[in-house]
Amino acid sequence: MKTLLEEVQSAASIYLPIPARIVSVEPITPLEKLFQVALPNNLLIHHQPGQFVQLTVFGVGEAPISITSSPSRSQSTFELAIRRVGDLTRVIHDLQPGAIVGVRGPFGRGFPLERFRGKDLLLVAGGCGMAPLRSLINQVLDERGNFGKVQILYGTKSPNDLMFKRELLEWERRSDVELHLTVDSPDLGWKACVGIVANLFPEVKVDPRNTVAAIIGPPVMYKSVIAQCKTKGLANGNIWVSFERRMRCGVGKCGHCQMNHIYTCQRGPAFMYTDIQGLEEAFA
């Protein structure tokens, strides 16, 4: 079967989106909704955890959205968790099942699972960074025997902002996963950690010789989390970060996502920390 990217590349223009249909819409926080999207003509999404698509509302505009579903699950449909933050995403949030949207991609480089297999994993998300990290987490859990210890660290502003609450409960109940949560502003029922994600690191134990970290969240989070990873003894080559920043064309033509000499849409969004540690712009 043909993949979505092959179909896009064979079209008249790499900028021409392929029509797709919204199958379901589910609110997951006050600001985010989960959209399941079906591809036409038996196309497969064929993505890696960490990749993104360009989603078009015809007549309105286009936005880069990370794929939140796992490659180990259905390939003819995929999921996008979309935060309502501007004019385009407000229109997207008003769409109902059956609506037709345009899709290009998947674009960028995801996390290199071949380098993660056999390792202990430290998976860290801040805010809506859980959307792309969920793709990696579920891929790992679907082939759980290929990985060592799995620890998930996740922080949001408040308990109400936690994404995928049903899955968080499932992960918490698993004996082969450690889930650590924190919020900035707890409610009366909150019993876990309070503060930034970096505050969770005293709770985790890692074997620095055999642990890989994958971190996704706002750039302001990265410095403190990377510092904690290094305090735990992780080498720079075992720390991976994802930059979902200022994407526009998705194919390295417009320069909108450029960090110094690096086009994020092509060499990222997932980067080994070694490759970008000297780029101050990356963490601004």
| Run of H or E residues at 134 | helix 130-142
Nearest to 108 by CA among 244, 259, 273, 256: 244
**What is the H or E stretch that residue 272 is in?**
strand 270-272
Domain 4-106 belongs to what architecture? Beta Barrel (2.40)
Structure tokens at 158: 């408040």
Q: 113-283 has which fold?
A: Rossmann fold (3.40.50)
pTM of the model: 0.93
Task: Dump pLDDT digits (tens) for 210-227.
Answer: 999 999 998 889 999 999
- pLDDT beyond 70 at 196: yes
What pLDDT digit, counting tens, does each position of 72-114 carry? 987 789 999 999 998 999 999 999 999 999 999 999 999 999 9
DSSP at 188: T
Residues near 106 by beta carbon (within 8 Å), at least 6 away in sequence: 4, 5, 45, 46, 47, 48, 51, 52, 53, 67
| CATH 3.40.50.80 location in the chain | 113-283
Domain with CATH 2.40.30.10 in the chain: 4-106
Predicted confidence (pLDDT) at residue 68 exceeds the cutoff of 90: yes
Kindly state the tokens that stand for 268.
Answer: 């990222």
* Cβ contact 76:39 at 8 Å: yes
